[in-house]
A = this chain, B = another copy of it.
């Protein structure tokens, strides 16, 4: 499979690294919107300008689009699906149906195949929600995120006057997670399930009390959550909070039995040192499946729900029967 990377941010870099762990993938090049002379790839992969992409129409089987979900992907994936088979990591849950429709049309109109919303949530968490719902139709779902960095919340703190830099961790409330893992089925909102832990660097003369208040009272982002604000030095922020870890749980609790007397708990848990690198590993695994679907003549937009597990792995079927089933 010949793969191209479109956009060289954190996920783009992760995809480059992921290719090196998957022998059946040939990385053709990285395509950047920046000045290509200024972009140095981690592993020496050749960097091209996006303006050169047209010359690669017949040289790339799958193009991994590594852009932002908020404003870039809704247009980018639709446009690129006209000329390439594409995969993206679109993660704005509420807008998935619309994005799917637009990408599906562009891909079908041009005889291409596409996949949107690959990664871990959406992605592996979605698959686990689906399996758990299919197996326990009479049950209740819980998704917990964290401990992990929320980019949006970190950005929101940085916009406050006097703040130099900030990182915000979303942290699931341990007692609540344990309750659910033990089979209790409380009614919970997102804010019952998570606390927000902030590490904030401020200007020397800035007013800590005002900044802490501004954070804690910020509507939507923090006002309704238990929020902890820690003021730290720029050195400490860099040293201890520069990673991109994330984690989370998908749990479903359901019942069977003649009187629903038997409880079953299914839980799926991820602990990731690097959110973008893990996301990128998912992109490569599902790009492989997409390539196989393309070989079978499939066109249009797919999601992780359409993919047979056997198609995401680079192992022959008889090996799977022998060692994994």
- Verify if A263 is at the interface (C-beta below 8 Å from B): yes
Cβ-defined contact, B137 with A22, below 8 A: yes
Chain B contacts for A79, CB-based, 8 A: none
A270-B263 Cα distance, complex, nearest whole Å: 11
- How would residues 208 to 229 of chain A score, 1 for a CB under 8 Å from any chain B CB and 0 otherwise? 0000000000000000000000
With A269-B267, A277-B262 in contact, is A97–B322 under 8 Å at CB?
Answer: yes
Residue from B17, B264, B269 in contact with A256 in the complex, judged by beta carbons closer than 8 Å: B17
Cβ-defined contact, A306 with B310, below 8 A: yes
Q: Select from chain B the residue with minimum beta-carbon distance to A282.
A: B135
- How would residues 282 to 321 of chain A score, 1 for a CB under 8 Å from any chain B CB and 0 otherwise? 1001001000000000000001111111101111011011
* Contact segment of A67-75, A121-129, A157-165: A121-129
Residue from B266, B278, B303 in contact with A325 in the complex, judged by beta carbons closer than 8 Å: B303
Shortest CB-to-CB span from A301 to chain B, Å, is 10
- Verify if A85 is at the interface (C-beta below 8 Å from B): no
Chain B contacts for A100, CB-based, 8 A: 321
Cβ-defined contact, A309 with B313, below 8 A: no
With A131-B309, A285-B134, A285-B135 in contact, is A258–B321 under 8 Å at CB?
Answer: no
Chain B contacts for A111, CB-based, 8 A: none
Q: Select from chain B the residue with minimum beta-carbon distance to A126.
A: B325
Q: How large is the interface on A (under 10, 10 to 19, 20 to 34, 35 or more residues)?
A: 35 or more
Shortest CB-to-CB span from A259 to chain B, Å, is 10
- How would residues 34 to 61 of chain A score, 1 for a CB under 8 Å from any chain B CB and 0 otherwise? 0000000011000000000000000000
A317-B124 Cα distance, complex, nearest whole Å: 17
With A274-B256, A278-B256 in contact, is A309–B96 under 8 Å at CB?
Answer: no
Cβ-defined contact, B138 with A127, below 8 A: no
Chain B contacts for A10, CB-based, 8 A: none
Cβ-defined contact, A258 with B17, below 8 A: yes
Shortest CB-to-CB span from A227 to chain B, Å, is 28
Cβ-defined contact, A129 with B264, below 8 A: no
Cβ-defined contact, B138 with A21, below 8 A: yes
- Verify if A33 is at the interface (C-beta below 8 Å from B): no
Shortest CB-to-CB span from A49 to chain B, Å, is 24
A257-B243 Cα distance, complex, nearest whole Å: 12
- How would residues 17 to 30 of chain A score, 1 for a CB under 8 Å from any chain B CB and 0 otherwise? 11001100000000
12 A-B pairs with CB atoms under 8 Å apart are: A17-B256, A17-B257, A18-B256, A22-B137, A96-B325, A128-B268, A130-B320, A131-B309, A134-B309, A134-B312, A268-B269, A306-B308
A: residues with CB less than 8 A from B are 14, 17-18, 21-22, 42-43, 93, 96-97, 100, 117, 122, 124, 126-131, 133-138, 183, 256-258, 261-274, 277-278, 280-282, 285, 288, 303-310, 312-315, 317-318, 320-322, 324-325
In addition to A262-B277, A306-B308, 20 A-B residue pairs with Cβ atoms within 8 Å of each other are A14-B256, A18-B256, A21-B137, A42-B258, A43-B258, A97-B321, A117-B325, A122-B325, A126-B325, A133-B313, A134-B312, A136-B281, A256-B280, A262-B272, A264-B272, A264-B274, A269-B269, A305-B308, A305-B320, A305-B324
